[in-house]
Amino acid sequence: MNTVDILFRTLLPFFAYALGSIPWGLVLTRRFTSVDIRSAGSGNIGATNVRRTAGALLGLLTLILDILKGYLPTAAAVALSGGPWQEAYAASVAMAAFLGHLYPLYMRGSGGGKGVATAGGCTAALSPTAAGWAVLVFLALVLGTRRVSVGSLAAAAVLPAALWAATGSAVLAVAGGLMAACIILRHRENIRRLLSGREPRL
């Protein structure tokens, strides 16, 4: 391994965090609307609230970009990895991108999203099969309940098991478990609204 490879591998987790920190929902709504996404709807910067408050197109763009900021650095880590630490390295880059979305550098560590799309992008790079299973669970629950939060929570809940089943890697399953726990914690208000029957439908 040459010096350039070592430097790139060392810097990639930091790049992943910086890329994950880009609050695309806030960037897009500021650029194309007069809406302050942080004070509109649920106040979340993720795709669901962008769609609800600024329209389907910006919501879709936010979703795609939030997925890509998890997928791209994780895919780079998977391509670079080798040796006994391969899975741990890829998982660490994925977690860096995911935590950047939750605790964005450019917003002083607060006001981040709930992490569903970015976790999906990370998972797609780690295991397309596991990501496919999680997406199927998400779609089935959203279509069945007409509530995005239910689909998000269900997909998060199956993520560790999906990664374990698809890869046989305890390291990747633990990373999936950590992402799932963070997603569920970020959905605390949604869970309260679901229990009280106040969670909005699509």
pLDDT digits (tens, 9 = 90+) for 79-106: 986 766 889 999 999 999 999 999 999 8
User: Phi and psi for 86 in degrees, rounded to 5?
Assistant: -55, -55
Sign of CA dihedral 198, 51, 42, 66: positive
Q: Measured in whole angstroms, how far is the alpha carbon of residue 147 from the centre of its chain?
A: 18
Sign of CA dihedral 164, 69, 94, 82: positive
DSSP code for 87? H
Q: What integer pLDDT is reported at residue 35 of this predicted model? A: 84
User: The tokens of 50 are what?
Assistant: 């962008």
pLDDT digits (tens, 9 = 90+) for 61-76: 999 999 999 999 999 9
pLDDT digits (tens, 9 = 90+) for 148-185: 999 999 999 999 999 999 999 999 999 999 999 999 99
The residues, ordered by sequence, that sit 6+ positions from 51 with a Cβ below 8 Å of its Cβ are 58, 59, 60, 62
Q: What integer pLDDT is reported at residue 1 of this predicted model? A: 66
pLDDT digits (tens, 9 = 90+) for 112-146: 899 999 999 999 999 999 999 999 999 999 999 99
Contact 136, 128 (CB under 8 A): no
- pLDDT of 4 > 90? The answer is no
Report pTM: 0.93
Q: What integer pLDDT is reported at residue 84 of this predicted model? A: 67
- pLDDT of 38 > 90? The answer is no
User: The tokens of 104 are what?
Assistant: 């964005």
- Among candidate residues 117, 113, 130, 200, the one with its CA nearest the CA of residue 165: 130
Output the DSSP codes for 14-49.
HHHHHHHT--HHHHHHHHH-S--GGGSTT---SHHH
d(CA 97, CA 13): 8
- E strand segments, the chain: none
